[in-house]
Amino acid sequence: MRTEAPATPLELVARSIRPSSTTVHAWLLLLPAMTLLALFTHWPALATFIDSFFSTPRPKRGATFVGLENYRQIVDDPIFWQALTNNLLFAIGTIPVSIGLALLMAVWVNDRIAGRTLVRMAYFTPTVLPMIAVANIWLFFYTPQYGLLAQLLSAFGGASYNWLGSKDTALLCVTIVAVWKEAGFFMIFYLAALQQIAPSLGEAAVLEGASRWYFFRRVQFPLLMPTTLFVLINAVINAFRTVDHIIVMTRGGPDNATSLLLFRIYELGFAFWDTSAAAALTMVLLTGLGAIALAQYIFLERRIHYR
Amino acid sequence: MSMRAASEAYAPTGASRLLETVAAWMLAGLWILPLLYALWTAFHPGEYSARFEVLAPVTLDNFSRAWSAAPFARYFLNTFVLVTLVLSGQLVLCTLAAYAFARSDFRGSNIAFALVLIQLMIMPDVLIVQNYKTMNMLGMLDSIPAIALPYVASAFGIFLLRQTFKTVPQELDEAARIEGAGAVQTLLRVYVPLAKPVYLAYGLVSVSYHWNNFLWPLIVTNSVESRPLTVGLQVFASTDQGIDWSIICAATLMTSAPLLIAFLLFQRQFVQSFMRVGIR
């Protein structure tokens, strides 16, 4: 259809000169995106790093260099350790449960059960709703005396309990909301992966007399490994950047029992206006998230190469 | 590609199939329960908000009271302007940048690409303190562009489109150029049409992300004129409403309704888009 003439010497020369103009063109194309990236990613990251070594500027006294003082303050701050512990517990609570549930949901929806479209919709719906909106609904759900949970319990003779107001249960309550919100999101990746597994594998396994559990454990699950890794990285990142429901439901309380790292940054920066402490804590969080995202990038590149 | 899954040979039969169906439905019921609960409360008078009676009168009163209690019309407009601004900015900037990365081997391309990918690690969600300072410096605090700008140059969008553009056959590019099309014309006539499904997927995910985004808009806005729905809802629900759950539930459903209805209508596209784009 298309005729490709061999390159003439003149064209070859032209091509060898071209890079300079190509470079200019390419950078012109990149300019708008690069400007915004510099302004809202590169500069703030650098400025946060620098600010973390200075004191917070106050009206009467400007910022002074304080070395590692802000970091020392973080280490000495019991609320930081509490927020870190909470965040790790929150991560340990949300990651395995939401991934496990996502896998279960995907396996169920993948089998041709009656009404699977409706079931899939029910699982996925929380994903499209704003976290802030569903947090309000869950807040009502947990409310003592009036809430659905309290009503259900009183029907069985249980006493009313302030689930979000108690240090023992508040973190668990916000963890459940996060699991509920993201399990359906992870389900769709498993569903897609399950549908890519060739039917002949199942048929062959049946002929070999393998049990369904054996087939899942030795064939399906290993084939789902890349998906699991992908979902895992996303779940970890979500566990460290999801704070909308904390702001709505508990504001970090009671007594910092539900304070997470990003919430603590928000609190330090915008409630106490201690921007230097917030900057140092941001650096701590960024270091952690950076390591995770790097793993994700390496994984994404690989996934695309092997496709 | 067959839609028949490998598990078909192991699809449960008889009693175990019934058991699995019942379990799947129970979990689905549990999953949708908070939403049903909010629907019940929003559509019934306050005294029924925690009493479930089949004959409870249905009312739209809670919605009209919520609507008049806070400037939701303005919040809807703000959110609409916000998602439009973010998405249109993202589409233009990411397309141009992705094209540069996909097709030309230019000087400094590796460094530039690394500078873009840094955003996957250092997300705007985390840089709230410094971005607030920057917006203050630019005199942009409390404006809709201030909410949008940190998200417009999306590393993920650039990455996704670069991967897509790379799959476009080089011959199509050359053919367009032989016909006398310039770089931008080639981009618009060859690359953009071929990447349509990716644009659609990215657009859906971007709109739902920014419709739902909360923390940064909460920090950077301070007035009715710039607040998006999520922040407006929070201000409404946390100020002196006397904790009237019927009205809060009505407001909550109202703010989620456009996205929820869109999802119910285009379920397939939503699920496929989220799947294709992966991370938000």
Facing residues of A54 across strands? A65
Closest residue in A to B133 (Cα) is: A44
Per-residue pLDDT at A100 exceeds 90 = yes
- Band (B74; pLDDT cuts 50, 70, 90): very high
* Matching residue, tokens 């097709």: B103
For residue B253, tell me if it sits in a domain.
yes
Closest residue in B to A135 (Cα) is: B252
Segment holding A207, helix H or strand E: helix A199-208
Same domain for B246 and B137, yes or no, is: yes
Closest residue in B to A289 (Cα) is: B121
* Matching residue, tokens 């499209």: A128
Task: Catalogue the E-assigned strands of B77-139.
Answer: none
Q: What is the mean pLDDT of residues A128-138?
A: 88
Closest residue in A to B264 (Cα) is: A121
Interface mutation target, options A127, A128, A268, chain B, most CBs of B under 10 Å:
A128
Q: How far is CA A100 from CA A105, A182, A212, B265, in A?
A: 9, 12, 18, 29
Q: Which of A32, A126, A203 sits opposite B9 (nearest CB)?
A: A203
Same domain for B182 and B122, yes or no, is: yes
Chain A within 8 Å of B183 (Cβ-Cβ)?
Answer: yes
Closest residue in A to B36 (Cα) is: A137
Cα–Cα nearest to A256, from A89, A55, A70: A89
For helices B155-166 and B72-103, the axis angle rounded to 10 degrees is 40
pLDDT digits (tens, 9 = 90+) for B183-203: 888 888 889 998 888 888 888
Q: What is the pLDDT of residue A97?
A: 95
Q: Which of B17, B94, B123 sits opposite A33 (nearest CB)?
A: B94
Cβ atoms within 10 Å of B55's Cβ, excluding its own: 5
Tokens of B213: 């985004």
Which of B50 and A15 is assigned the larger pLDDT?
B50
> How far B27 CA sits from the closest chain A CA (Å)?
8
Q: What percent of chain B has pLDDT over 90?
A: 27
Cα–Cα nearest to B31, from A120, A173, A232: A120
For residue B64, tell me if it sits in a domain.
no
Measured distance CA(B30)–CA(A64) in Å, rounded: 55
CATH class of the domain at A77-135+163-306: mainly alpha
* Matching residue, tokens 């091509």: A15
Same domain for B55 and B83, yes or no, is: no
Domain ranges, residue B31:
23-59
Q: What is the pLDDT of residue A15?
A: 56
Taking the domains of chain A in order of start, what are their residue ranges?
9-51, 77-135+163-306
* Matching residue, tokens 């005199």: B139
For residue B67, tell me if it sits in a domain.
no
Contact call for residues A127 and A181 (beta carbons, < 8 A): yes
Same domain for B92 and B215, yes or no, is: yes
- Looking at beta carbons, which residues of chain B come within 8 Å of A146? 49-50, 245
Q: What is the pLDDT of residue B143?
A: 93
Same domain for B52 and B162, yes or no, is: no
Same domain for B37 and B77, yes or no, is: no
Same domain for B51 and B186, yes or no, is: no
For residue B175, tell me if it sits in a domain.
yes
Q: What is the pLDDT of residue A99?
A: 94
Cβ atoms within 10 Å of A182's Cβ, excluding its own: 25
Q: What is the pLDDT of residue A296?
A: 67
- Band (B88; pLDDT cuts 50, 70, 90): very high
Same domain for B53 and B149, yes or no, is: no
Is the torsion defined by CA of A213, B20, B27, A129 positive or negative? Answer: positive
Q: What is the pLDDT of residue B1?
A: 35
Cα–Cα nearest to B228, from B151, B127, B113: B151
Per-residue pLDDT at A65 exceeds 90 = no
Per-residue pLDDT at A62 exceeds 90 = no
Residue A54, SS3?
A: strand
B271–A36 C-beta distance less than 8 A:
no
> How far A147 CA sits from the closest chain B CA (Å)?
7
Q: What is the pLDDT of residue B4?
A: 46
Tokens of B164: 């897509």
Which of A249-258, A293-302, B27-36, B175-184 has the weakest average pLDDT?
A: A293-302
Query: What's the ipTM?
Result: 0.84
Per-residue pLDDT at B264 exceeds 90 = no
- pLDDT averaged over every residue in chain B: 84
- Looking at beta carbons, which residues of chain B come within 8 Å of A118? 28
Most confident of A114-118, B19-23, B165-169, B219-223: B219-223
Q: Which of A36, A212, A296 sits opposite B10 (nearest CB)?
A: A212
Question: A with B: how many residue pairs have Cβ under 8 Å apart?
Answer: 323
Number of domains making up chain B: 2
Q: What is the pLDDT of residue A91?
A: 93
For B252-279, the three-class secondary structure string (H helix, E strand, C coil) is HHHHHHHHHHHHHHCHHHHHHHHHHHCC
Measured distance CA(B32)–CA(A94) in Å, rounded: 19
Segment holding A131, helix H or strand E: helix A131-142
Same domain for B169 and B225, yes or no, is: yes
Q: What is the mean pLDDT of residues A169-183?
A: 92
Which of B146 and A110 is assigned the larger pLDDT?
B146
Measured distance CA(B230)–CA(B78) in Å, rounded: 10
Residue A93, SS3?
A: helix
Q: What is the pLDDT of residue B2?
A: 38
Q: What is the pLDDT of residue A307?
A: 37
For residue B12, tell me if it sits in a domain.
no
Per-residue pLDDT at B277 exceeds 70 = no
Q: Which of A121, A202, A241 sits opposite B126 (nearest CB)?
A: A241
Per-residue pLDDT at A1 exceeds 50 = no
- Band (A147; pLDDT cuts 50, 70, 90): confident
Is the torsion defined by CA of A287, A232, B210, A130 positive or negative? Answer: negative
CATH of the domain at B144: 1.10.3720.10
Q: What is the mean pLDDT of residues B191-219?
A: 89
A111–B218 C-beta distance less than 8 A:
no
Same domain for B116 and B47, yes or no, is: no
- Band (B240; pLDDT cuts 50, 70, 90): low
Q: What is the pLDDT of residue A32?
A: 93
For residue B1, tell me if it sits in a domain.
no
Which of A100-109, A231-240, B50-59 has the weakest average pLDDT?
A: B50-59
Measured distance CA(A137)–CA(B254) in Å, rounded: 13
Measured distance CA(A168)–CA(A147) in Å, rounded: 19
Chain A within 8 Å of B34 (Cβ-Cβ)?
Answer: yes
- Looking at beta carbons, which residues of chain B come within 8 Å of A200? 6
pLDDT digits (tens, 9 = 90+) for A155-175: 787 777 788 888 888 899 999
For residue B17, tell me if it sits in a domain.
no
Per-residue pLDDT at A190 exceeds 70 = yes
For residue B149, tell me if it sits in a domain.
yes
Residue B224, SS3?
A: coil
- Looking at beta carbons, which residues of chain A come within 8 Å of B108? 23, 27
Q: Which of A205, A279, A297 sits opposite B120 (nearest CB)?
A: A297
Same domain for B217 and B267, yes or no, is: yes
Q: What is the pLDDT of residue A305?
A: 43
Same domain for B150 and B263, yes or no, is: yes
A192–B5 C-beta distance less than 8 A:
no
Closest residue in A to B125 (Cα) is: A241
Q: What is the mean pLDDT of residues B9-28?
A: 82
